Structure formats: structure tokens, C-alpha cells
Chains A and B, each alone.
Chain A
Amino acid sequence: MSIPLVLNRKNRILLAELTKTDFKLRYQGSILGYLWALLRPLMMFAILYIVFAKLLKIGSDIPHYPVYLLCGTTMWSFFTECTSQGIQAIVNRGDLLRKISFPKYIVVVSATLTAVINMLINLVVVIIFALINGVTPTWSWLIAIPAILQLYLLSLGIAFLLGSINVKYRDITSIWEVFIQALFYAVPIIYPLSMVASTSQLAAKILLINPLSQAIQDIRFGIITHETITTWNYLDNIFFSFIPVCITLTILVIGAITFRKKSKFFAEEV
């Protein structure tokens, strides 16, 4: 069997055009248009900032806390958008699948690429806010690159895995929506991990094993402050830091294999 992940010319053209169309359609008919890609996460950030940082006074011990929070919500939005769009991609593009033959993963990747574009725009905002807030640029900003890549691969793996089940059992969409709400509180975004650590170190370590927490903490460590708790400066054994990375790769591989196996039947089942 040939490896389907080869992006030949025809597939590249298709991927680019589908991504462009997805992005255009997302903000179709709204007055502010593409600005919403910026406004939505900023508004979510404003709400969280007022409730948690101002009213509940969380995070006063962390330097540059507002940017720290914004960075977390940006990456979280990226993850939720990537997964929920990716999971529904096959069903949403059912009309194409039934009428032309092309590698099905293109549809999933194009749906997640829209989320990548949104995230990159927002990352620029995070960096501008960080600079305004007095964060000095250093080489450690580069740590964010592999961490963001890992976050993307994790989302892609989930999208492949759940997306291929979602074709037959549409319940997955609803289940994932609820699950992701619960997951939000299990990832240190609105609360700093140091707050958990001051009550229970074990709980903090368990939360950190989650690849989502690990990736977001790594990004914060890189861009915002070295006082961020990360797997490599907090877990007892350096080998434990590989667990989240292994989880990510396992999900990606299982997702890709499942998707490949089921994709033959998509045209008939969707």
C-alpha cells in the first residue's frame, strides 16, 4: 500500500483552495469580517480576565499575568477550533466526497488549517501585548515553535480519530462539545498551575502530564516568563516529561491509522 500522506501537485492545489474557501466562508455575511478572528478570542480573554484576575484575584503572583492568561486562552481556542472543525470536516464536506475521488485527509487538514491561520493572527496579538507589558524578547521564544507544533499534531490526531467515527455516529460531535467543556477546567488556563501546586503537588503533576497542559505551559515558559511550571522543571524524573509527547504521538498514529482504514467507506456512509 502506498503512503497517502504524499502531497502531490493536485492535492496541494485542492488543499490550498479548500482552506481559502473555509476561511472566507467562516466570516461570510458579517460586517466586521476577518476582524472576528481577532475579536472573538480577545473578548473571551476580557471576560476571563475580569472574572478571574480582577474579581477572584487569581494569578497576582505570576509576572505579566494578563498576557499569561491571553496566551493560554489563545492556545485553548486553537485546540477547540481545530478539533471541533476537524471532527466535523468529513460530514460537512459530504457533498464533495460523494462526487469526486481524492484523499480524504485533505478535507480534515484544510479545516484545521483555518484554525492555524486564526491562531497565528492571535499569536501576533499575544506578542504585541507581551511587548507592551514589558516582556523582553529572548531566544527562548523559539521554544514555542515545537510546542505549538505538538499542539497541532495532537488536535489533528483527535480530529482524525473522532472525525472518522463521527461519519457513522454523529453523537461524537455533541459528546466532544461537552467533554471539551470539562477538559477546560482540567487544563491550567484560567488558574495558574502554581495555585494547584500549593495545595497538592501530586495533583499539579497529574494535570501536567496532560499533553495540552504541557504544551501550553511550554509556550508560556518560552514567551512570557521562566517562572512557568513545565514538565522538565517540575516533574521528579526527566523521563516523565516524555509522557505527554508520547501521548500526543500515540493519538496521532492511532488517529491516522483509524482514519485511513475507515476512509474507504466515507463516500457511502456520509
Chain B
Amino acid sequence: MKRPIGTRTEVNTNSDIAISVVNLHKSFKLPTEQAFGLKQAIFNRLRGIKGYKEQKVLKGLTFNIKKGEFIGIVGRNGSGKSTLLKILAGIYYPEKGEITINGTLVPFIELGVGFNPELTGRENVYMNGALLGFSNDEMDKMYDDIWDFAELKDFQDQKLKNYSSGMQVRLAFSIAIRAKGDILLLDEVLAVGDAAFQQKCTDYFAQLKNEDQTVILVTHSMDNVRRFCDRAILIDDGRIIIDGDPSTVADAYTKLWQ
């Protein structure tokens, strides 16, 4: 296996750059046939077949994000947005290129990570909180607020499997917004829920913007890009097409189909 040569470093300096990405490449090995399992692996080795094909997802991205910027990342499905976010979050390793993260980074790749349907709402709140780095004591303090905000107080001792999906998202969102970090990564987490929930999300964005929080938002909603972002980046086929003014990017995004 080829060793990764990219680097991702976390620093904490006074520089006004929050994230710097230089020439980032990433590819995945997609199995061409049923290559899972020892038997296939040995057969493939014997026949000299690689058993996978290399799919280039990111082909050299370079950009900087300043502290306090609200950045929108847009692009079609499969353009590499989520992969980029996962590399920034440290979930995938960078194959080539240098990433520098300045400050603590809190990623929301999905709402309700670690939610278990067999556990009660209460137990899930503590579990999810632990994943965000909150201790039991800290969770005790914000416990009531979480349930009040989610408007689910009567359900806290029910098992999560008895919640509707909308209720689960509300609960997860209510925990997620407690997380504090220098940089927030939001990956389409807010594309669900009813009108009332959407309103809460919009309020949350507005609040983040007021607080000059550094945010990277991956989204398909051009309304949100126009409304909240200071800058937007359009990615297509693993490359940056435009990096600049939100409304220019939003227009270009819509034109991708025409």
C-alpha cells in the first residue's frame, strides 16, 4: 500500500488564517469486484489483478480561510465536498498536500453521531455529548436546556427507537449547537426537518454570523449561501472552479446544469 505523504497539522497561533490548504489530493480505491475477504485477496494477488480501481476525488485544492469567515462550499453530488470536509476534520488522511488547522475544530458530518435506538433519550444525550467532548458534569448543567430547546421534555426516558426521525434530528441539533470551537464544519446537516426546524437552523446561522464564528458550511441551498456566507467556493470534479463572492458562486452553481 502506498504510504500517504500529505500532512494535517493542528496549531494554535495568533495568525488570522484559520485553515490553510495547499495542493490537496485524495483518491479512493474502489473494489472492482467482490474484493472483500481473504479468498479474493489471495486470488487477486496470484493473478496479478489489483482488485480495485483508483478514483481521484480531489485533484489539487488550494485555499485559505481567515478567522471569522463564514464560508460556503457548494458543488454537485460527488464533486468532492464531503471528502474535503472529512479530510479537514481529520477523519480521512490527506494523500498529498498540506493542511494546517489553527485552533480547535468541531465537525458536524452528521447530526446524532453515535445515537443508539436501544438507549433512552437521556442516555443518548450523554453519549452524543461525550463525542463532542463534554464531560458528565458539563452535560448535567446543560441537560435541561437541551430538552427545552428540542421541545421533547416528555420523551427523555423513552427509547430512541420510539422517536420519529424528525424528533431525533431536533434532539441531535439541540445538542450539537452547544459545542464550542474555533472552527465549525457543517456538512448538509440541516437539510432535514420541518419548516419550524428550518427556522431554528436559520436563526442558528444568524447567531454564528453575529458572533464572528469561523464556519465552513457545505450546502445545496443557494439561499443560505447568499444570506450568510462571506465567501463561497464552488467545487466540481475535484477542482475549485470559483472561489469568491457568494452570489457569483451561487449563479455559477445554478449554471452547472445549463
A residues apposed to B, CB below 8 Å: 9-10, 13-14, 16-18, 21, 24-25, 28-29, 95-102, 168-171, 264-265, 267-268
Contacts and interface: CB of A to CB of B under 8 A. Distances in A.
B37 interface: yes
Contacts, number: 73
A17 B130 contact: yes
Please classify the interface of chain B as helix (H, G, I), strand (E, B), loop, or mixed, using the class held by over half of its residues: loop
Contacts of A10: 133
B38 A171 contact: yes
Interface string B112-145: 0110101100010011001101111000000000
List the 7 closest pairs (A to B, CB-CB), nearest first.
A17-B130, A101-B90, A171-B38, A10-B133, A99-B109, A99-B113, A264-B93
Contact of B91 (A29, A170, A267): A267
A70 B89 CA distance: 48
A100 B113 contact: yes
Contact of B36 (A9, A18, A100, A168): A168
A101 B185 CA distance: 13
A98 B91 contact: yes
B86 interface: yes
B116 A25 contact: yes
Contact of A100 (B41, B109, B136): B109
B113 A170 contact: no
Interface of B: 1, 4, 28, 36-39, 41, 86, 89-93, 107, 109-110, 113-114, 116, 118-119, 123, 126-127, 130-131, 133-136
Nearest to A168: B36
Contacts of B4: 264
Contacts of B37: 169-171
A96 B131 contact: yes
B131 to A, nearest CB: 6
Given A95-B114, A267-B92, A268-B28, 9 more contacts: A13-B135, A17-B126, A17-B127, A96-B114, A97-B91, A100-B107, A168-B41, A171-B38, A264-B4
